[in-house]
Amino acid sequence: MNSGNDEFTSPVFDMGTLMRAIVNPYGKRLIVDGVPAERLGLEGKLGLEESKTSKADSIKVAIVVIAFIGVLIAMPIFAQTEPLLCMTTFGALLLFVGLVGLFQDGVSLESIMNLVIPLIGAVLVVISVVNVYHKSHPGSFYFTQERMIEVACVGFGIVGLGMLVIPPVVHSRKMRECTQVITAMCIYRNYHYSKSSHKRGGRTVGRRGSGISRLYKPWWQYEVNGTIYVSSEGVFTNVDVPDIGNLREIRFSPEKPSKIYRPLMGTRVGSVFLGVMCIGMAVLALVVMHR
């Protein structure tokens, strides 16, 4: 294992690469992400699994790209005929992309903020559909411009509140579960790109000031009671990103050693800052609107 990151760093999780990165010269029992290696059926099946994963990822990307192109074509057309349909189309795109992300990553307390994009899309669709219905039924309820702004402000406030409340709750729960501390080695990382201005300990790509950064999900190898565990943090971050081969102290659950947690202060501080900003903007907009 060396510090060259290209071989053991990839944009899409690759089980074969992860297995090559594991250091197990004495053939000790191995548990990967909570599953014993023998139950993974690794021998002779890695190529098939990688092929299936690659095909599934390609299909997802193709669907998203086709939907995005369709929206780009439809929005200018609807803007000329019925602007509300333009908003419906944009909302449907956000809803679709958000649901694809939720289907791929799942829903948990740690990733609850991933609901923001599909919820925004759903709200845009509902508002536009209600207003389109109002045009043919003048006596029905509809969203005025003032009501739309109020809905947006309430939404920003809820998102901000979630950013303030959820990270401390998750941190407290994980600290109670993962009480043992051990030194682990980063052996593999997968990543994706994100529009972000946070660069503390992270990796920023693209032109200076572009705000495009890589978010990494490190995989850690450590040994507990003679068994080698390989576990991921479960979340992507650009705070204190380790290089391949770097050592860090992580916490694990004594009842389930494959469950790990690495407290990152920068992540929690960033969530608090964004939460305060969202709530502040929402309150300020409502105050100005109702003066």
Average pLDDT, the chain: 78
Quote the pLDDT of residue 251: 95
Residue 103 confidence class, pLDDT cut points 50, 70, 90: low
89-103: average pLDDT:
76
Cβ atoms of 109 and 129 closer than 8 Å? no
Mean pLDDT of 172-198: 83
Q: Are 215 and 190 in contact (CB under 8 A)?
A: no
**Residue 110: which pLDDT band, with cuts at 50, 70 and 90?**
low
How confident is the model at residue 112, as a pLDDT? 61
- Can you give the pLDDT at residue 43? 41
Tell whether the model's pLDDT for residue 269 goes beyond 50: yes
- Nearest-10 crossing angle of helices 145-177, 116-136: 160
Closest CA to 198 of 161, 135, 241: 241
Choose between 246 and 45: higher pLDDT.
246
User: Residue 59: what pLDDT?
Assistant: 65
**Cα 81 → chain centroid:** 36
Ranking 8-12, 105-109, 172-176 by mean pLDDT, the lowest is 105-109
Domain-wise residue ranges, the chain? 55-143
Confidence of residue 234 (pLDDT cuts 50, 70, 90): confident
- Cβ–Cβ < 8 Å for 214, 193: yes
The answer on pLDDT for 2 being more than 50 is: no
Answer whether 40's CB lies under 8 Å from 32's CB: yes
CB 92 within 8 A of CB 108: no
Judged against a pLDDT cut of 60, whether residue 250 lies above it is answered with yes
Q: Which residues contact 3 (CB under 8 A, 6 or more apart)?
A: 243, 244, 245
- pLDDT (tens digit, 9 = 90+) per residue, 36-89? 888 775 443 444 344 444 455 566 667 767 777 776 777 677 666 667 777 777
Residue 79 pLDDT? 62
